[in-house]
Chain A
């Protein structure tokens, strides 16, 4: 069974033109100070000087957040990288999604931004930074997609879900676009978390 040890998920920002990235610096620091995110958030790393990079990161022990600009698309990325609470792939996908939705809700509710940040819940990018256990091959996508569909289907509804293996370059990380055109807003998605926690 494929069991990736690192999984990342990214939600794209609806209104990137309104984004003031440097305003996130004190926000991320406050997440550490006020323990707004679980685990061990450690520090803030600023990579805004590189093009289409990880932007601004909140580095943690088990997971990192990033106001991320990879592929030229602004979004919030959460990568869970160790200390998995459960052993199954579904558990791991769920942990990652939970971390992402928590961060996204904190950002949408943040009052210190001049313009509120909102997310497009209809599209999510799932990446597996673990080439040993999840090499970027069609076979891996085929092996993972049932679990992905089960976990994400619990949020979005299985009829409202397309999974696309987006980047076939073997050098790249396995990346799956999770598309759910009829997705509910973020608050509603996050509200479902406790009920799907048993998935």
Chain B
């Protein structure tokens, strides 16, 4: 029989088994959802945990500037989540742990952008890559092609551990304690898909920093963060971390608290596991607005939180992975592609000196430098990505990283190569100077693609960038050094709280019409690991933001005292003065006088809030059982497909696996640490659900459980079409019984029987 041409078949031998199987399960869950056999909320959370995110207008409605109109997608009855149409394009987020990419991975990302998206790779503020306008039916193949080069999208969204970020200079930085890269990598591997990170009420973000006083990994704004430290004990140096917990931006920003001043390196993974359990057990699940760990830490106080963590830590079953990676840490290093040669005095290309000044960081290792490729709005085309992959191969090899400032860095550039590298980057439109300066503005997607966006953060960023570029040469140095960060709403994905000058989108009703506005946030600190958060000082119409920026920077230059930072200046100026400074800009002319005020940057439509949808940042809060049993359903579906294709052995394995997964889903409601061993799962299931009769149906009694026991105890010596067909049916019945059991238990808990 000829094998059908598919990415699944083409890449079968190149994907790690675990990733390949997960993608198959997701594809099975998609098929179930299409048949309405998987609840839409459960499927929504399932796809989010695969990085498959919603996008603006995916409820099938759009305001076209005149009226709200339905978008006539085919099969409008089909949904991929509450109020989210199946055929509406979405965003695919791709995790890039610590931002590390190889040229080959960059090329594959570019290919995916060309084939499934719009030809653009977007670097996010958490070192991820996002592709927009992706159809859900393309996502399994997209994931397979990523898996074949060692990338997973698992837990890129949803209520789980998101991408683990780290300083892009880790390992080459002059001020770091040590290279945090292998620790970030180990943390990612340990927590990816871990049982203890599946039952959170909200997302969980982890970061690593190498040094205290730079922006580095932004430890103070993360849910959990690790700052590298070295201490000396009896003359021996010991590596460890200051551990921060409970930080976060969003509408209500919190600075992280120190949980441990110094935690030895061998304890960080087990600590993260213990914290995950405490968050899963005690974190808010119903009110999503208060479900991040920062609220739990604030509510309990850091001392009580620590007590709970340590109590949990004591009870954790030992896991050899906690320390297994440490043996490889001393050997972890990147290999430079070219020899270290200092930059010589030969004539340099035009523009090089400015680029050298802003985009190049001299590494700790003599003769090497890090070059920042400044991406406008975090975007790079597929063609640029291919060329950049070639450039990376030539100059640096595998040492490419994305940054939280939405750029890409090439590490280990031999200094003598810098002029040639600059020329090569310039030839592909990536040689812009100004990285890390005022022209290098960070922006979330805003109303371009985000369902929650209120104002056009990217439109404003593009406008400010163009204007600042035009006058860059004449800007005072103290202005050039300022950072601007822009979010489309208060949720702070653009990290406006930690910029010198931040903006976030909102709206005001003026002259009986809605007018896009941006709230001005001043005085945030990027360095010192996001050392302090800015203060809101007033909202101004979107169209005057460039003028507001000019007024603020002009006043800063005029009034700044010797050596005074922007933060200190805003403190000294005070809110009353700042408000007076903004006041003239808050006036909105009538529509007939100046209609421009009533639309946003880059979008000629009359401004409306009607396109805001229900955000998926918070994921769907569904029970641990629902999430886990959906995997069983996916496996059962795969078994059905295999049966149809006469692949009997595969169908047999799939049906058995489906029952094991369903049993595990039930067991995990009582015993989180059951693990993956089928023997253990069946044993625990028997003890907890069969012997106690909790699993028993009123009429069938324990019959459905016996399907599992029978198959588990004896793998068939020979599988026939009839025997497999029966097993597949039994697997489906077993899953139904698991659902019924969960519902019975939930009902008992909700309505306890009154015993008189």
- Whether B729 sits at the interface, judged by CB under 8 Å, is no
Supplied contacts A53-B383, A59-B118, 6 more A-B pairs, CB within 8 Å: A25-B604, A40-B71, A45-B118, A52-B384, A53-B379, A132-B6
Stretch at the interface among A12-20, A26-34, A178-186: A26-34
CB pair B64–A33 under 8 Å, yes or no, is: yes
CB pair A50–B118 under 8 Å, yes or no, is: no
CB pair A173–B119 under 8 Å, yes or no, is: no
The residue of chain B having its C-beta at the shortest distance from the C-beta of A68 within the complex is: B119
- Whether A75 sits at the interface, judged by CB under 8 Å, is no
State in angstroms the CA–CA spacing of A32 and B141 once bound together.
30
Q: Which residues of B contact A90 (CB under 8 A)?
A: none
Give me the interface of B with A, judged by CB distance under 8 Å: 5-7, 10, 56-57, 62, 64-66, 71-74, 87-89, 107, 111, 114-115, 118-120, 132-133, 135, 141, 376-377, 379-381, 383-384, 386, 428-430, 448, 458-459, 462, 465, 602-605
CB pair B10–A132 under 8 Å, yes or no, is: yes
Q: Given A25-B602, A42-B71, A132-B6, verify A70-B383 contact (CB < 8 Å).
A: yes
The residue of chain A having its C-beta at the shortest distance from the C-beta of B427 within the complex is: A51
Chain B nearest CB, measured from A130 CB (Å): 6
Q: Which residues of B contact A190 (CB under 8 A)?
A: none
Interchain residue pairs A-B with the least CB separation, the first 8: A51-B429, A33-B64, A53-B381, A49-B376, A26-B604, A129-B115, A54-B119, A129-B114
Q: Which residues of B contact A54 (CB under 8 A)?
A: 118-120, 381
Among A33, A51, A83, A172, which residue has its beta carbon within 8 angstroms of that of B65? A33
CB pair A43–B57 under 8 Å, yes or no, is: yes
CB pair B66–A33 under 8 Å, yes or no, is: yes
Looking at A26, A49, A83, which has the most chain B CB atoms within 10 Å of its CB?
Answer: A49
CB pair A52–B462 under 8 Å, yes or no, is: no
Give me the interface of A with B, judged by CB distance under 8 Å: 6, 25-26, 29, 32-33, 40, 42-54, 57, 59, 61, 64, 70-71, 81-83, 129-133, 171-173
Q: Which residues of B contact A33 (CB under 8 A)?
A: 64-66
Q: Which residues of A contact B111 (CB under 8 A)?
A: 131, 171
Q: Which residues of B contact A45 (CB under 8 A)?
A: 118, 132-133, 448
CB pair B56–A49 under 8 Å, yes or no, is: no
CB pair A50–B448 under 8 Å, yes or no, is: no
Chain A nearest CB, measured from B717 CB (Å): 39
Looking at B65, B133, B377, B428, which has the most chain A CB atoms within 10 Å of its CB?
Answer: B133
CB pair B604–A29 under 8 Å, yes or no, is: yes
Q: Given A46-B462, A46-B602, A133-B5, verify A52-B114 contact (CB < 8 Å).
A: no
CB pair B119–A53 under 8 Å, yes or no, is: yes
CB pair A49–B462 under 8 Å, yes or no, is: yes
Chain A nearest CB, measured from B665 CB (Å): 35
Q: Which residues of A contact B6 (CB under 8 A)?
A: 132
CB pair A29–B65 under 8 Å, yes or no, is: yes
Chain A nearest CB, measured from B500 CB (Å): 22
Chain B nearest CB, measured from A31 CB (Å): 10
State in angstroms the CA–CA spacing of A44 and B429 once bound together.
23
CB pair A171–B384 under 8 Å, yes or no, is: no
Looking at B107, B111, B604, which has the most chain A CB atoms within 10 Å of its CB?
Answer: B604
Q: Which residues of B contact A129 (CB under 8 A)?
A: 114-115
The residue of chain A having its C-beta at the shortest distance from the C-beta of B461 within the complex is: A49
Q: Given A43-B62, A46-B462, verify A52-B383 contact (CB < 8 Å).
A: yes
Q: Which residues of A contact B87 (CB under 8 A)?
A: 61
CB pair A132–B120 under 8 Å, yes or no, is: no
Chain B nearest CB, measured from A50 CB (Å): 5
Q: Given A29-B605, A61-B73, A132-B6, verify A50-B384 contact (CB < 8 Å).
A: yes
Q: Which residues of A contact B379 (CB under 8 A)?
A: 47, 49-50, 53
Q: Given A42-B62, A82-B135, verify A171-B107 contact (CB < 8 Å).
A: yes
State in angstroms the CA–CA spacing of A6 and B115 once bound together.
8
Looking at B5, B66, B107, B115, which has the most chain A CB atoms within 10 Å of its CB?
Answer: B115
Q: Given A64-B118, A82-B135, verify A50-B380 contact (CB < 8 Å).
A: yes
CB pair B5–A83 under 8 Å, yes or no, is: no
Q: Which residues of A contact B7 (CB under 8 A)?
A: 132
Looking at A51, A83, A133, which has the most chain B CB atoms within 10 Å of its CB?
Answer: A51
Chain A nearest CB, measured from B720 CB (Å): 35
State in angstroms the CA–CA spacing of A53 and B430 once bound together.
12
* A–B Cβ pairs within 8 angstroms, 14 of them: A29-B605, A33-B66, A44-B603, A45-B118, A45-B133, A45-B448, A48-B462, A50-B381, A51-B428, A52-B429, A54-B118, A59-B133, A132-B6, A172-B386
State in angstroms the CA–CA spacing of A32 and B360 once bound together.
44
State in angstroms the CA–CA spacing of A47 and B5 once bound together.
34
The residue of chain B having its C-beta at the shortest distance from the C-beta of A130 within the complex is: B115
State in angstroms the CA–CA spacing of A26 and B606 once bound together.
11
Chain A nearest CB, measured from B106 CB (Å): 11
Looking at A6, A82, A129, which has the most chain B CB atoms within 10 Å of its CB?
Answer: A129
Q: Which residues of A contact B376 (CB under 8 A)?
A: 49-50
Q: Which residues of B contact A70 (CB under 8 A)?
A: 119, 381, 383
Chain B nearest CB, measured from A29 CB (Å): 6
Q: Which residues of A contact B384 (CB under 8 A)?
A: 50-53
Chain A nearest CB, measured from B285 CB (Å): 34
Among B57, B383, B604, which residue has its beta carbon within 8 angstroms of that of A42? B57
The residue of chain A having its C-beta at the shortest distance from the C-beta of B9 within the complex is: A132
Chain A nearest CB, measured from B259 CB (Å): 41
State in angstroms the CA–CA spacing of A57 and B114 once bound together.
14
Q: Given A45-B133, A133-B5, verify A40-B381 contact (CB < 8 Å).
A: no
CB pair B133–A131 under 8 Å, yes or no, is: no
State in angstroms the CA–CA spacing of A32 and B383 once bound together.
28
The residue of chain A having its C-beta at the shortest distance from the C-beta of B111 within the complex is: A131
Q: Which residues of B contact A40 (CB under 8 A)?
A: 71-73
State in angstroms the CA–CA spacing of A113 and B302 once bound together.
62
Chain A nearest CB, measured from B4 CB (Å): 11
The residue of chain B having its C-beta at the shortest distance from the C-beta of A169 within the complex is: B386
Q: Which residues of A contact B62 (CB under 8 A)?
A: 32, 42-43
Q: Which residues of B contact A26 (CB under 8 A)?
A: 604
State in angstroms the CA–CA spacing of A43 and B71 once bound together.
10
The residue of chain B having its C-beta at the shortest distance from the C-beta of A44 within the complex is: B603
Looking at B57, B383, B465, which has the most chain A CB atoms within 10 Å of its CB?
Answer: B383
Chain A nearest CB, measured from B533 CB (Å): 29
Chain B nearest CB, measured from A150 CB (Å): 24
Q: Which residues of A contact B604 (CB under 8 A)?
A: 25-26, 29
CB pair B64–A32 under 8 Å, yes or no, is: yes
The residue of chain B having its C-beta at the shortest distance from the C-beta of A173 within the complex is: B114
Q: Which residues of B contact A29 (CB under 8 A)?
A: 64-65, 603-605
Q: Which residues of A contact B119 (CB under 8 A)?
A: 53-54, 70
CB pair A171–B386 under 8 Å, yes or no, is: yes
